[in-house]
Amino acid sequence: MSALRNTLAIAVTVGAVYALASRPVDRHLPDAPDAAPAPDASGQLVVDLVDGATLEDLAEIERLLNADLDWTSPMSVDEALAEGWVADLDDAVALLANHPLVEVVEPQIEMAIPIDLNFDSLVVVDDYGPAAGFPDDPMYSRQWNLPAMGAPHGWSIGAMGGGVIVAVVDTGVSKVEDLEGTKVLEGASFVPGTRTAEDDQGHGTHVAGTIAQTTNNGKGVAGVAPEATILPVKVLSKWGFGQSSWIASGIDYAVDNGAQVINLSLGGGYSAVIHNAIKKARAKGVIVVAAAGNTGRRGVGYPGALEETIGVSALGPGGKMAPYSSFGKGVDISAPGGDKRVKDGGILQDTVDGKGGHHYVEYQGTSMATPHVAGAAAVLLSRGVPADKVEQTLLQSARGDGWDEKFGHGQLDLGAALDTSVENANGIRFLLGAFLAFLIAQMAGTTGGFRIRSAAVGGVTAGGLFFLSYLPLPDLLVVRLLASGLVQWPEILFGHGWMHFPLWLSAALPFGLAFTLGAYRGTRPIALGVAAGYAAVLFHGAATGGLAPWGLPEALGHAWLALNATVAVLLGMGMAGTEILEMQERRR
The dihedral over CA atoms of 332, 336, 341, 346, expressed in degrees to the nearest 10, equals -140
Q: DSSP letter string over 323-367?
A: TT--BSTT--EEEE---TTSTT-SEEEEEE-SSSSEEEEEE-SHH
Is 558 a catalytic site residue?
Answer: no
Q: Secondary structure of the chain: what % helix, strand, coil (to 5)? A: 45, 15, 40
What type of residue sits at position 64?
Answer: L
User: 88, 137, 170, 178: which is the annotated catalytic residue?
Assistant: 170
User: 367, 421, 454, 469: which is the annotated catalytic residue?
Assistant: 367
Stated length of the chain: 588
Is 367 a catalytic site residue?
Answer: yes
Distance CA 398, CA 71 (A): 42
The dihedral over CA atoms of 468, 26, 208, 79, expressed in degrees to the nearest 10, equals 120
Q: Is 465 exposed, middle or buried (0-12, 13-18, 19+ CB in 10 A)?
A: middle
Helices 414-444/366-382 angle, 10° precision:
10
Report yes or no: 367 and 114 within 8 Å, Cβ to Cβ: yes
- CB hemisphere CA count around 585 (13 angstroms): 7
Round to the nearest angstrom and report the end-to-end CA distance of the chain.
Answer: 25
Q: DSSP letter string over 133-175?
A: SSS--TTGGG-THHHHHTHHHHHHTT-S-TT-EEEEEES----
Distance CA 148, CA 171 (A): 27
Report yes or no: 105 and 97 within 8 Å, Cβ to Cβ: yes
Please provide residue 21's backbone torsions phi and psi, each rounded to the nearest 5 degrees: -70, 140
Is 170 a catalytic site residue?
Answer: yes
Report yes or no: 431 and 540 within 8 Å, Cβ to Cβ: no
Give the contacts of 392 (CB within 8 A, at least 6 positions apart). 22, 23, 24, 25
Report yes or no: 138 and 74 within 8 Å, Cβ to Cβ: no
Nearest to 265 by CA among 410, 337, 395, 168: 168
Distance CA 46, CA 63 (A): 16
Please provide residue 242's backbone torsions phi and psi, each rounded to the nearest 5 degrees: -155, 155
Distance CA 463, CA 434 (A): 9
What pairs with residue 363 in β-bridges? 347
What distances in angstroms separate CA 53 from CA 58, 75, 76, 100, 234, one per listed residue? Answer: 7, 14, 11, 11, 25
User: 203, 358, 496, 500: which is the annotated catalytic residue?
Assistant: 203
Distance CA 337, CA 347 (A): 7
Catalytic residue numbers read: 170, 203, 367
